Structure formats: structure tokens, C-alpha cells
Structure 1
């Protein structure tokens, strides 16, 4: 460090070059981490490489967290040096602000504030270790990583014209963010898949992240040599002077490319509010549209057939009314009123009667479709205004998918939500009103007459086909990030994406797609791009695991990209046809994709039975019609024109990044812990249950997950089979109840045959690890496909097989006979302890019952004297059954919760002994006081019970010994 006395220069007695701040920060930070690593490996090597699943030699290199937070004295070494680091760190942020501040620019202050917040959160996760408080450690860690994004990109954007510094920042930033991908991958391999050695590989990437992070800040040494600490600028670079041989314009353009130009935005509050309002108003549209099928579905669900209320799906064709001149003039002149009235679809949660709530939602959806079609058409003559509305509409879809992920596949402002089940309807309505007022603050640009406008080339009808196929694709596949993941899901061991850890990939693909479309609409609407989308759709339809999902990601990007040219093209034509007929065609596809599963309940259903491939093909052909019209509508020799201003694109780009960050924060919160514990491990008890959940809508049209969770938890159920559980269709809201139940109750989950397998669903949730699972579609030559899951669980160290099964309908006796034979052979294929959780559609002791309970299956009835059953049955073999209880459903569904308690055998000899028991020994009943405390059912459901749940039929549980 150079120092000198300068009495003649203003009384300065000591000075040193500013680069030493950077070097001091780098040296002390590296010392903090590396000293802890050296001391930890020297003193506690085997302990710090040990994790919850494996130790040495499977794991042989410690993670950062284990090194710096778990043991003395390495923890002390780290904390002492990291405390010393804070001084140079604050000085570094301060000097960077002084170096980069410019008159009239708010960016340096923002970047500096991110640097300060990043420093404080770093202190948080280093001083609050995962051992001290796991939640706060994780919250502060993810906050640090989130702050790193604007700090890194902001530093690049503000870099002085120093080519060497810019080059190193680019490289180190790329290495830092590139390392996050394998880091997350190997953490999932360790935490979810429990792969031996994966945590060691993860640890190397984690340490690399530290090295790159500190090195990025070390690059400031190349810029701070302009400072002499007093502080005095000895080269004038802080005043904007250039000392590089590379022209400043070249370097500024390079920085603009690296940061996407986001940091060159001229920030104004008005533009920010306009962007937020547009995106939120788009979110409200998608929230209402995706809720319509749900509230319509309630009625045929409870009528067990066509109810007549299905006609409400046609409210989306409201834009066809724009073909009436006077009506169109009124709508265009009163767009604010139309958009505000459309919020009745959000306010519908205030209406308790299901029929009136459906009417209210229908009104809101119809007005919303009408308002958006009119707004787009009215602004179609102004490219920038049309783009802003289109971007708001599509990014609103991304926001909708993000909030559904955060609420475990329920939308917080749906009319089936309210405060009791996690809804934020009131807040959503207030924000919706504010957004609608802001969204409509500018008047329409066209008048009320179509004749006053230039004739648009091409075909209105073909454009309408494109809109119909596009909106069906967006709604059916992209309104929830888990939909396509469940299309390719095939059970355990996990060989593809997982809904809670890989959902962001779908959002990322959607985000890339929309900005490809807005920046290159010609490319997005080209036939070459269509070919990519078609191939992607084919891969998603016919393949599983990761390869199938890669097709889904390609399709997600394509649908979002092609939405720009198709919607733009439709907006510039007659909206009564392009959007009115377009939504009619969309409704046709909605019904089509229901008919492929519900063929037993609808006229002509067998003609389209199990043809999701036909639905996908029809969707892509309709989009092809729109692509054809887009290309034929474009002038052959289009005159060159100045590109539209891009400021609004940057605002929407930033809003998309914010939505993506929100998604990643939600994903971090939802990351599976896989440390689930059964209720009575000391007694080796497994409590099993079967429940037909009626698609998670209760008798009053409210989402029923919370009420289901409460009963399952209070009944202390360890393993449960759920039937009628596949909700990944438009009419069911593209939901997945199993995600909420599994995460809230702490259970592993197998969704069962996916939504493209044409069943009503069977799912398995287990407190015990699922070692392996296979999905079966049982013979159904006439009626509905019968789904089954055959899973192997690791229960207290013993492998136990569990079967979850939903039989065919009463109207199809041959189907049910064939299914009983198939399942009996499947259950007979294992000699392990096993039990069946099922819906059999048979009388006890009669008919197909004697195929399920037979020598072929080896299964026994949980209680042969229970005469009051028709659907739900629990069977078992080679396992000790000690309890059986049936609990009333209240108004949650139409079927009770049926449960059984088993004691898990400890050895093969005990299994053989159980297999040799006579029926009299096996079914010997005893009183509750004769069984251990841990075997007993909760007393809270005796008598009148709680919340309308009580033991019924026998009025109390039954026990066996």
C-alpha cells in the first residue's frame, strides 16, 4: 500500500489507492471461507461431510453450510474473518456509487442499495446458520441470491469504459449464474432422489459459487485505481472522462446487449403503474376465464350427467355481439365501464348460492372477453398501444400460473376460494378495480364504425381458427405449470421433472416465448417456427419423462411467441368474427378435451374416446390456419418503417423478470424436505385410508383441500389413496389437490396415471418413502378407464406393497368383471405385506367381491361383517390388521373416509406366521382397552364428533387382535 504525507495539499496526511479496498475485501472474504474449510477438514472431516442420508465414503467433500455453520472452531474462524470483511465491503459499495453516479440517473443509487441489502443479507445467512434457525437462514440466503441479480447486472450496466473490467464482469457473472443450474440439479438429486454422492458434487458447485461471487466484486480493483483515498479522484473517471482506446459508444452498446437494455430505461412512476395495471388486468382475465370451467363443472358433477348449466361456457363468445353496429359503438365508447363490470367475476365469491355464483362468474367472463377484444381492436391502429395491451394480456397469464404455483395450483381470487380456504379475493378485487381504472385511462383510438377503417387483407375466419386453437393451447397446457409435468409423469423412481422443483422451467419458456414473439413477430409467425411447435406438441403427446417435457417446453415457448402475430392479426380485423368465432372454436376444443374422458356421460362420446392426440392435432391445425392467414395478410413488399419505441418493452421485460423471481421464491418455499415422519413409529403402526374426493369441490362449491387436510391429519392417516383426483383439465381448473395435501401434511405423493391417460384419477400419499410405483389402466372395453397404482413403500425398514384402484361404473358389468380379474392377479403377484385402497362397486361377499378376495389375490377383507359398503373397500394380506373405522364426510364430498390400522411385521418369519393365520384368528375382535394406546383411533370423533365428522355405521372404531 502506498502512503505519503501531503502537508501542502489540503492537510492530507495519508493516502492510498482505491484498489486496495477491493483487494482487502477479496483477501479477507476468501480467508473467511478457506480457513473454515481447512480447519473443518482437519478436525471434523467425517462429521462435516455427513448429511441426512449419506456419509463418508459416499460423500467426501463438505458443503459451505456444513463447513461454516456446524462446528467449533471452524465456525468461529469464519465469523471473525467475515466480520472483518464487512468494513471493506461497505467501502466497496460506497466507492462504486461515487464512481458511477451521474446527474439525473437513479440507477447508481438503486444498484448501491442492492449492494447494501446484499451485504446485510449476507451477514444474516452467515451469522444465522441452518443449525440455528433453518427457515431464517434459507430466507436470508435466497434474498442474497435475488439481490445478486440486480447488483451483478447493474454493475455491468454502470461499468466505466474499461474493456478489461467489462470482460471479467461478463465472464464471472456468466459463471456465477451458470453454476446455479447444476447446483440446483444436484441438490434435487440429493434431496428428492437421494442419490449417493450427489451432495458432494453439489458442494463443489456451491464452493464455486462463492469463488465467482467474490471474484466478481474483486474486478472493482481495475476501476478503483482511479481513486486515491482521502477520497480524491486522480484520473477524473468519476466525471465521465474516458481512458480507454476503445470508443465509449462501442462499450456502451456492448453493456446494453449484456443487460438487455433494461438499465437504460427512463423510469417514470406513470409508466411503471401503467405496466403493473396492464399485467394485473391481464391476470384478472385469465383468473376469471380459468374459473369458469370450475363453476360449470360443479353442476354435472353433482347431477352425475348433463345438467344444462354447461351452456354457460358459451359466454366467451360475447365478442360476436360487436358485429352489431350500435352495440359495438356503445362498447368502444364505454370500455372503462365494460372492464369494471367484468370484475363481477372476481366479486363472485361474495355470492353464496352456487347457481347465482355461476351466473355472476359467467357475466364477468363474458364482459371480460368483450372488453379485451374491443380494447385490442380499438388500439390496433397504434402499434405501441396494441403491443402494451397484448404484453399485459400474455404476461398476465404468466402471473396467473405463478400465483397458482404459489397457492399450490389454486388461484387466490377464484370464486371457489374464500378466506377459510386460503383465498385473497378481497385484495384481488380491490387491486382489480385500481388496475381496470388505470388500464382504461386512455380513450380508444378508433371510432365505432368498421366502415371508417381500412380493409385488412386475409380471412377473418382463418384468423378466428388461429385464435381458437391458440387460446385452447394456452389455457389447457400453460395455465398451470404442473400440467405438462403430469403429462409425462410415470411414478417412482422419479425419471423426469417434478412439479414443485421444475415448474419454473415452464414459466421461463413462456417468458422467452412472449419476448421472441414481440421482438420478432415475423419469425414467430413463420412456417419454420410452426414446424418447431408441431414437433414439440408431438413429443409432449407421445413421450414421457424428460424427453416428453422438453417437447412441452418447446410448445410453451411457441404458443407464447405465436400469440403475438396471431392476436395482432386478429385485432386488426373484424373482432366480431376473429374473437367471437375464435372463442366459439375454443369452446368446441374445451368440450372435445372433456369428451375424451367423459364419453360415458355424453352423446357421441365413444367416437372420441381416449383421443387426446386428436385434440392436440386439432389444436395445432387450427393454429396453422391462423399462421396461414397471418402470412397471407402481410404485404408482399412491406415498406421499411422505423421500429416502434422499445421503452414499453423494457418495462414489460422487467415485470416478467419480477414475476419469474416471485416464482423462484415460491419454489424455494415449496421445495420438498423429504423428512416426513409417521404418526406412531414407536408402535410400528401404519394407518391407511381411502377417500373419493369428488374433484376437491365441496357441496357448496368451495375448494375443499383445507377441510380434507384437517380430517386426514386429525385421523392420523399415514398412507391414503385418493380417487376422482385428476383435476388437470380446463373444467377442473388445471389443479392438483395432492400437491397441497402432500406439502402441508408432509407426505410423498404419486399422482397416478396422468391427465393424458383419460381417467378420473387415482393418487397415493404416504408418510413413508415410495421406493417404486407403477401405473395401470385396467381393461375397459365399454366404459371408463379404471386407473390403478401399485407402489412399494419402505415402512420401518420393511417393504410393503400398496394398491390404489378405482373400478368402472355400475352400468358396465363386463368391464368390472375383467378389471376384478386383472387386479386380483396384480395383487397376487407379490408375497410382501400388502393392502388395497379401493373403490370396487360391488356388494360385500357377492359377485366380483369374491374375485378381489380370493386365493388368486391372497387378499382378506378388512372387516367381512361390514355389510353397509358398496364402493370403498380396504383389503390386506401378510400384515397385522388391528383397527378399522369409517368417518362421515360432512359436506366435503359424497363419500366417507374409510381407514384401517396395521402393525408392520419385523421379519420374514412373522410375515409367514401372519399368512398362515386362519380367518377366525385374523378377524378376532377385541375392545379398545385391550389394545395399546398407540393402536387406538382419536377419541375426538366419537359421539357427535367435530365439524360434522364422526365415527359412523358402528358408531365407534373396531379393533382386532
Structure 2
């Protein structure tokens, strides 16, 4: 047994600061040694990227330096392995330094520190060359954990001014560097600007310096430690105040200070997560029903009668009956359980039955949430908790759609085979309801504030209706407002991925601000700023429009708690019931502006999204007016109760987790822009056109995965989609192109946007899109005709591609004007051109002779194909080699038409049909679709492809 020593005796005493310094030394040595060796041995190779090399790029990135080559990778791995010992010791000493009785935060921070250390080992020893996916998973986990580690260390810092100062500087530099880092990465990846990756590399190396430097500051705190291990100042016994203690003491009584000043209890975080999941289920059902309704007029080509199902959301009107209101208040758990049948709707194969079940679920969930708000009107902490669950649940649904590329995994249009998570979603929902909707003391009676002033119930209801519509139309998908401001290539604004994470962040920040500062969120100044954001979104494209979108998202979420609190001061039927009636009115208005050719009275609001936006903001303004009257009688400095401040913290923890998840998804979904054509060696371009019917198949199932499969098997390099704009409430605010483009590797362009009132066109290309312009063709009477005119870099040659959807058959003058416009557009292009189109004409007749004419210089890919009415492939100045028609099975009502062209060969003066045996293998269509084909897809009409020499 080792001898005992008296207190103060030690065999060896090492000051704790050397743990921090050794960690710093070895960490920097790992990176710097790899850089020196890499530059010395493989300079030109490690500065080379997928687009450029030396001299355009002259400084290597971190990943290229430490992971691609031997021996620099070995230098890095040896030193980083040595670093792991001091790193674990640093985390341990930090915990000893900051641990206090009855405090959970130090344990959480220590856990994050250990997690970061382990994930660092993951991306260090599993390089992108070894396994790209796992390298990214470890790297993302490390970066995501950096935020709570940094904030936790700042909160727990001992009250050492020098150390706190340096920590703030390093943290600010680290997170500030992320902005130019992302900017130059986008310049490199998306815009392919020479030298951008070198600038990105400098900021990437800066992140390393700041990250390690942040932890080096612990040396200033560890001076109070000596190892074996002895605390010479008593810091670890909680005798000295931390910075967090000082801040909380100063902020005592204020909302922010009270929120995080309490202990952490796992049971309560589970309760908060359950509440949020219930909110997620609510938004899932609310957004699902319009998609199901849309199926019926889509296939009837007009009003079907099923549209009446949208009034299911007005069920709160029934709460005007006192006995029903009382019964609903006392049986909230049963109402929420009943609403879960909406998650079981996918089990019904018949579309009508799926609609009826979801309609019942919508009526039930609207009544349940309305009753829940109303029942807690006299209990501010519980009402606030319900509002936060409702708001964070919305954000959870947006994050889920962001992760699943705009499809909600619990919608009734998905199942296991096409991306659904229905079974696990139902299981969690059942647990969440049973957990969160436990018995509570609520009252169904009327409630009056002490002053008796409650504002106008009508205005409060209008405000809630405007709020619901603004959320469902703009904020139920992170890419909706991005599609509003997108205006083609080159990229001059946000992308759905990664910038959807910014939309999610603005929503979360707005919700938190509205909870903490309701007086400001409900002010007319805030309303004015929100209205300005709406104006910018409606009137401008690119970043200017998106800045307006972020401001509007922040305001909508911030004002939501104010409007709900105002609404619960009245009968739920006269506020929430009327509110949902207003929501239905605005929903119809929203449909009418684009569907004017198919609905009664449609021409009155044709193309007036601006009117709709004004009506929405005025409706919210009405609610703000009513809330101002109600809130004028309430103390704006009312202390935050202990229950409220504790509950707030848990919902914010859930929200923070969702925000970190969205950042991770944004990273994983960042476009690689390294796409390769299918037959690069033969310089073949396979181009197709497909009217995809909004990605909803004949049986009301989401069809993106089936579309992906056939497009991949056809080896399409370029494809145009028509009837592809789903960024409206009735289509679920989704984007049919995102999943296919990302899964198969295409550049994508969609447009004109949903605020331009068309049914949509989209272009997917394996070739870089150098430039694209969106057109609205003349349509004085009927539906607007969209077109995308893009210039693609095909094997070094610039080739134009036009994707075009003509107006409907009932408006011949529109179609004539459109044919003249498009003929001029194609004829004015000096480059080779391919038209992927929907023309609504018979071959060799009528407007066909305007599209195929001396003015347009276009040729039909196969003039002998008599069995066409809608889809046509035209071309000029290209060598056509093949044409085929492929059946669509039940994916849509229109086939796929495909043509093959060879780049670099002159267009022959005369062409001759040849049998397939004479065609080089690289120029042939896949044999997979011969005969019976695969999954209902086969060559039809001619029963085989046609080829030309």
C-alpha cells in the first residue's frame, strides 16, 4: 500500500495549466505538421480540386491536407492520437472546476466534451477516402456539438475576466468565420469561381486555430489546479461564483435569466418533447388534407365536390354549444387520441376513404388544440407551454420535410415503399398523447380579465385566421419562400438546400422572441416590419426578396403567441372558429389566383398574389389591434412564474435540438455539383419530357421514388418536368424535383415561381446550367404558360434547352400567341437547341407549323409519329440519333418521350432510319424496357425505339 501523506504533501505536483498547453501544442502540431509535409511532398495534388488546380488554387484545404495523402495523413493521425490524452484530461478538469451541488449543466457540458473528442477521432481515422458517409457523420456531429460546448463553457466560466474576455473573442471569431466560410464554399461549389476554394481554405484553417485556441484559454483557469489532484483555491467546491452565477444574479426577475436558472429534469424534457410531437402531428394533419383534396379536382379536371372537405378545420365553431365545450375540455386526451386516426389513413387504399379519415382527424385535432388553448386561459404557464408546443411542433414538421426533401414522412400519401415512416410515427404519437395529455385541472366556464376589456372577438378571430394562412402557405416548408425568389441561373439567391436551414432558424428565433417579448412582438412597429418583409418577398427576387422572407418568417412566429393569448380571452367559437373560416376563405383565394380558368369567379382574382398577401397582413393586423386592446389592461412587466420559466427552458432545449438537426441536414444536402452524364465517352445526350401531374400518382401516392427509378434506368441526362409546381397549400408545399435531383445527381431549375401563377415547369440536367431565364408566355384569357430557357455546357459546347407548357385546349388564341412567342425565342437563339414541350396540337397541323418553321429553325424529332397531342421533342443544329416513347404505368396520365443526340457531330443533311444492330452500344436506349418492360414501363406506340444514322 502506498504511504499516506498529510494534506499538502505531494510526490509530484504538476500545475493544471500544462494539460491545456499540451492539448494546444499537440493539436496544432497535428495540423501544422501535416500542412508542412503535404506542401513539401504533394503541393500540386493537395491544392487540386474538382474544378481547378494550381495556379488558380494555391492553398490546400484542411481535408485535402490531413486525409488524402501519405505520409502527411500519418503525421496528423499520430499527433492527434497524442492529443486525445490531454483532451480527455481537459474535459475532466473542466468538470471538476465547474461542478456544483444540484447543478446539471456541468455534467451536460462534460458529456458534450467527451462526445466531441470521440467524434474527432471518428473523422480523423475514417477519412472521406475511406468512407465518405461516415466521415461526414462524424464531422457533422463534431461541428454540431461545438455549439453547446462553446456556449456551455462560456456559461460555466469562473469569474475570471481575462479568461472570459478571451473566450468571447475566440467564440466570436469561430462563429463569425462560418459566414465567409460558407460564402466561399458556395462560390466554389455552385458558381465554380477560380480561387474561391483557396479563400475557403484560409477560413477553414482559421476555424481550426480558433477552435483549439478556445480550449487553450482553460490554461488561465487551470492555474488554480495541481495534479495529484489538489484544489488549492476551493473552486471545485463551489465556493467561487461562476460567470453564469453573476449573470443570473443580475438578471434575476427577467425572462431570460429566469429561464435557464433552474435545474434540469429528464422527466420534464420528455414531457416537453411529447407536447412538441403532438404539435408536429397537428401540423402533419393540417397540411395533409389539402393534398388529398387536390387529388380529386386534379383527376376530374374541375371541381369534384370533394373540395368541401376543407371545411373540416372549422370544427371549433361547434364549441359555441356549452355542453360540447365542457365535454371537450374534460376529455382532451380522448380528442387527441381520436385525431391520431389521421396517421392511420395511409392504410386505406381507396383515395376517397383516405380523404374521409383524414378529414375526421383534422376536425378532431383542430377542436382539441382550440379547446386546449381555451382550457388553459387562466393558467399562463400552461397556456404558454401549449403555445410553444404548437409552435415548436410546426418547426419540427418543417425540419422533417427538410430532411425528407419536402415530403412529410407521416402524410397519408406515403408508406414504407415510398419514404413513409408511418408505423414508428404512430407509435411515438400514441406515447406522446398518453404522456402529455394527463389529467389537469381545467375549467370550461367563461373567463373575464379583471378589467373586463377583451378587445373584439371578431378581429381576434380574423387575426388568428390570417396567422394560420400565413403559416400554412409560407412556413410549412423551408423551401417555399425560396422558390418565390428563385429566378434562374447563375445562382443569385438562396438554394433550398442549404439555405432552408436559415428559414427554420428565423422561425425558431421569432417564436422565442414572441414568448420572451410579447409586448414588442404585438406592437405596430413589429407589424410594420413584418409587412415590409411581406412586400419584399412579393416584389423582389434573389437575396433581397429572401431577406424579406426571413423578416416575415420571424414576425409571423413572433406574433403567433400574442394572437393566441388574445383569442383565448373570448369564446373559442367566436375566435378560433371564425379564424378557421377566415383561413378557409384565404385558402380558396390562394387557389383561385392560379386556378382561375377552372373555378367560378376565378378571373376576378386572376394572378393577384399581391392582393392575397395584403389581405393576409391586414387580417393579422386586425388580430394585433384586438390584442393591443386586451394587452393594454395587463402588466407588461409581470414577473415570470417559476413554473413558466422552467417550462420555457425545456421547450427551448427541444427547439435548439431541432435547429442543430436542420443545420446537419443542410450540410448533408449541400449540392455536390459534380454530376456526370451517363455516356460521357460517347458524347451522347439523352433528353426527355414528362408531364408529372404534380408528383401524385393515379392512386394518390407520392410518386417521386417511382419517377426516380424510371428516370435513372432510362439514363436521362436532361429531363423537363411539366405540371411540377407544388409550392401551394393544396399541393402540400413540396418540390417534386428536390428528391430526384439530389438522389440521381442533377442540377435543377424550376420556374417561374409559385407567385407567378403557373402550374410549373422544371429542368434537371447532368450538365452545368450556365444561364437560365424564366418566361411567362402571352395568355390573355386562359392559364399562364411557363417556360425555362436554359443554356447548358454539354461536353464543352453551349446548347440551349427550352422546357415549355402551352395553355389549355379551350383557349386557341392563347395558344396561337404562345406559339409565335416561342417560335421567335427559339429562332433568335444562335446555339443548338432542344425543345422539351407540351404543345396541345396535332402533328403537321395548326400551331405545329409555327413551332416547326423557318422562323424557329426547329425540326420535329420524328414527324412520322402521328399519335401525339401534348408532348413534343423539337431540335435544331444537333445530330439526332434516337427517339422513344415509354409508358408511365400509374405514375401519371402522360408518357415519357425521350430523344438521343450526339454533341460535336454536325447535323447531317440527310438522315436515314437504321436498325438497332447498326447503332453503337453507347447510343442505344436501355433494353430493360423492351417487351413487357419493368414495373409497367415499356416502349410503346412503336413497341421499340427508333434510330437514325
TM-score bin (small chain): over 0.9
Counterpart position of 1:948: 936
Counterpart position of 1:273: 270
Once the two structures are superposed, what CA deviation does each residue of 1:163-214 show, in whole Å capped at 9, x if it has no partner? 2222222221222122222212211221122122111111111111111111
Q: 509-518 vs 144-153, which deviates more?
A: 144-153
C-alpha separation in 2, matches of 1:243 and 1:609:
65
Closer/same/farther in 2, CA of residues 232 and 539 from structure 1, 3 Å limit: same
Counterpart position of 2:948: 960
C-alpha separation in 2, matches of 1:232 and 1:12:
9
Counterpart position of 1:114: 112
Counterpart position of 1:697: 696
C-alpha separation in 2, matches of 1:404 and 1:394:
16
SS at match of 1:885: strand
Contact persistence 1:782–1:815 (CA under 8 A): yes
C-alpha separation in 2, matches of 1:531 and 1:506:
20
Once the two structures are superposed, what CA deviation does each residue of 1:640-693 show, in whole Å capped at 9, x if it has no partner? 643233111111111111001111111122111111111111111111110000
C-alpha separation in 2, matches of 1:665 and 1:641:
38
Contact persistence 1:107–1:263 (CA under 8 A): no
Contact persistence 1:156–1:255 (CA under 8 A): no
> Of 28, 38, 48, which residue of structure 2 is paired with 1:30?
28
C-alpha separation in 2, matches of 1:521 and 1:258:
11
- Equivalent residues in 2 for 1:833-844, closer than 5 Å: 833-844=832-843
Deviation at 1:75, TM superposition (A): 2.2
> Of 366, 384, 387, which residue of structure 2 is paired with 1:387?
384
SS at match of 1:625: helix
Closer/same/farther in 2, CA of residues 17 and 392 from structure 1, 3 Å limit: same
C-alpha separation in 2, matches of 1:791 and 1:33:
44
> Of 541, 544, 568, which residue of structure 1 is paired with 2:541?
544
Matched, 1:323 2:320: yes
Matched, 1:532 2:521: no
C-alpha separation in 1, matches of 2:7 and 2:637:
61
Length-normalised TM-score, structure 2: 0.97
Counterpart position of 1:822: 821
> Of 509, 512, 515, which residue of structure 2 is paired with 1:512?
509
Deviation at 1:122, TM superposition (A): 1.1
SS at match of 2:378: coil
Counterpart position of 1:288: 285
Deviation at 1:444, TM superposition (A): 4.9
Contact persistence 2:26–2:82 (CA under 8 A): yes
Contact persistence 1:306–1:601 (CA under 8 A): yes
C-alpha separation in 2, matches of 1:460 and 1:543:
35
C-alpha separation in 1, matches of 2:257 and 2:820:
62
> Of 57, 60, 66, which residue of structure 1 is paired with 2:58?
60
Deviation at 1:904, TM superposition (A): 0.9
Contact persistence 2:260–2:646 (CA under 8 A): no
> Of 415, 436, 439, which residue of structure 1 is paired with 2:436?
439
C-alpha separation in 2, matches of 1:639 and 1:39:
63
> Of 209, 212, 237, which residue of structure 1 is paired with 2:210?
212
Counterpart position of 1:774: 773
C-alpha separation in 1, matches of 2:926 and 2:53:
39
Counterpart position of 1:140: 138
> Of 184, 195, 203, which residue of structure 2 is paired with 1:186?
184
Counterpart position of 2:224: 226
C-alpha separation in 2, matches of 1:187 and 1:260:
38
Once the two structures are superposed, what CA deviation does each residue of 1:19-56 show, in whole Å capped at 9, x if it has no partner? 11111111121122122222322333222222111122
SS at match of 1:721: strand
Matched, 1:732 2:735: no
C-alpha separation in 2, matches of 1:588 and 1:600:
19
Contact persistence 1:262–1:654 (CA under 8 A): no
RMSD: 2.1
Contact persistence 1:456–1:572 (CA under 8 A): no
Closer/same/farther in 2, CA of residues 663 and 481 from structure 1, 3 Å limit: same
Counterpart position of 2:901: 902
Q: 280-289 vs 320-329, which deviates more?
A: 320-329
- Equivalent residues in 2 for 1:61-80, closer than 5 Å: 61-80=59-78
C-alpha separation in 2, matches of 1:432 and 1:250:
39
Q: 850-859 vs 7-16, which deviates more?
A: 7-16
SS at match of 2:725: coil
> Of 35, 39, 44, which residue of structure 2 is paired with 1:41?
39
Once the two structures are superposed, what CA deviation does each residue of 1:548-580 show, in whole Å capped at 9, x if it has no partner? 000000000000001011011001211101011
Once the two structures are superposed, what CA deviation does each residue of 1:36-81 show, in whole Å capped at 9, x if it has no partner? 2223223332222221111222222211111222223322322222
> Of 278, 296, 301, which residue of structure 1 is paired with 2:298?
301
> Of 419, 424, 444, which residue of structure 1 is paired with 2:421?
424
C-alpha separation in 2, matches of 1:250 and 1:407:
41
C-alpha separation in 2, matches of 1:492 and 1:305:
35
SS at match of 2:771: strand
Matched, 1:502 2:487: no
C-alpha separation in 1, matches of 2:65 and 2:481:
39
Contact persistence 1:157–1:263 (CA under 8 A): no
Counterpart position of 2:686: 687
Length-normalised TM-score, structure 1: 0.96
Counterpart position of 1:934: 922
Contact persistence 1:153–1:259 (CA under 8 A): no
Matched, 1:803 2:802: yes
Deviation at 1:282, TM superposition (A): 0.5
C-alpha separation in 2, matches of 1:569 and 1:7:
69
Counterpart position of 2:404: 407
Aligned residues: 945
Closer/same/farther in 2, CA of residues 862 and 21 from structure 1, 3 Å limit: same
Deviation at 1:636, TM superposition (A): 4.8
Contact persistence 2:377–2:447 (CA under 8 A): no
- Equivalent residues in 2 for 1:479-628, closer than 5 Å: 479-628=476-625
Deviation at 1:110, TM superposition (A): 2.1
C-alpha separation in 2, matches of 1:677 and 1:257:
57
SS at match of 1:751: strand
Deviation at 1:115, TM superposition (A): 1.2
Counterpart position of 2:122: 124
Counterpart position of 1:357: 354
